[in-house]
Chain A
Amino acid sequence: DTGVSQDPRHKITKRGQNVTFRCDPISEHNRLYWYRQTLGQGPEFLTYFQNEAQLEKSRLLSDRFSAERPKGSFSTLEIQRTEQGDSAMYLCASSLGDRKEAFFGQGTRLTVV
């Protein structure tokens, strides 16, 4: 499968715990995006990498959230001290060069109890 891969697909965690998600983009894609989607809403942009550089963060990305893309390949998104409001689908997408169309993974569904 050469699409965007996300792991885990589902995560249930207790409030206050830290969680980390992984995204493997399409191999030749240099751009990687993280989005968050809640029920009945479209995806909302969180942050963006071009190769290993994190170029933009949305105001939605509080200081409890951190993302890395250490070698310009896979990326991780960590949420510290999770809150019930963090419950959502976290989507990763990648794109090639300057092209604007992005290809999404299947997402990680986070439930904070």
Chain B
Amino acid sequence: QKEVEQDPGPLSVPEGAIVSLNCTYSNSAFQYFMWYRQYSRKGPELLMYTYSSGNKEDGRFTAQVDKSSKYISLFIRDSQPSDSATYLCAMHSGGGADGLTFGKGTHLIIQP
């Protein structure tokens, strides 16, 4: 079992819909949680950053962390065709000097 599981999709939804993207993880030491957006052949772009459990909202994006269930979510409201991309979840335990642990990414398609 990988440390971070993420459904690769593709997930196709109509424009204007609410999108829900999710990751599960097995390492209970993870405390820092991030969502990145990656367009084809580009580097990942940081969207959301949260520490421990709870919700965080930024514009059309909401990130949720449930540490008790080892489950994180990203919601996108009023989805736009420009949101079509791969969304990567990433996590860090906060200790040591190692880097982020990523999911495989979910390929999202917003249909105009």
Size of the A side of the interface (Cβ < 8 Å), in residues, is 27
User: Please, which residues of chain A bring their CB within 8 A of the CB of B96?
Assistant: 56
Do A42 and B41 touch (CB < 8 A)?
no
State the interface size on chain B (CB cutoff 8 A): 27
Question: Which residues does chain A contribute within 8 Å of B34, judged by CB atoms?
Answer: 100-101
B76 at the interface (CB under 8 A from A): no
Q: Is A109 an interface residue (CB 8 A)?
A: yes
Tell me whether B41 and A45 are in contact (CB under 8 A).
no
For chain B, residues 51 to 89, give those with C-beta under 8 angstroms from any C-beta of chain A: 88
Q: Which residue on chain B has the smallest CB distance to residue A101? A: B49
**Interface members, chain A 12-64 (any B CB < 8 Å):** 33, 35, 40-46, 48, 50, 55-56, 58
Tell me how far the C-beta of B109 lies from the nearest C-beta in chain A, rounded to whole angstroms: 16
* A42-B88, A50-B97, A56-B96 known; A104+B43 contact, CB < 8 A: yes
Is B99's CB under 8 angstroms from A42's CB?
no
A102 at the interface (CB under 8 A from B): yes
Q: Which residues of B contact A58 (CB under 8 A)?
A: 98-99
Type the 1/0 row for B19-42, where 1 means its CB is closer than 8 Å to any CB of A: 000000000000010101000011
Task: Please report the C-alpha to C-alpha distance between residue A107 and residue B39 in the assembled complex, in whole angstroms.
Answer: 12
A43-B44 contact, Cβ under 8 Å, with A100-B32, A100-B94: yes
Asked if A106 CB lies within 8 Å of chain B CBs, one says: yes
Q: List 6 A-B contacts (CB under 8 A).
A: A40-B105, A48-B97, A56-B99, A91-B44, A101-B34, A104-B44
A residues lining the B interface (CB < 8 Å) = 4, 6, 33, 35, 40-46, 48, 50, 55-56, 58, 91, 93, 100-107, 109
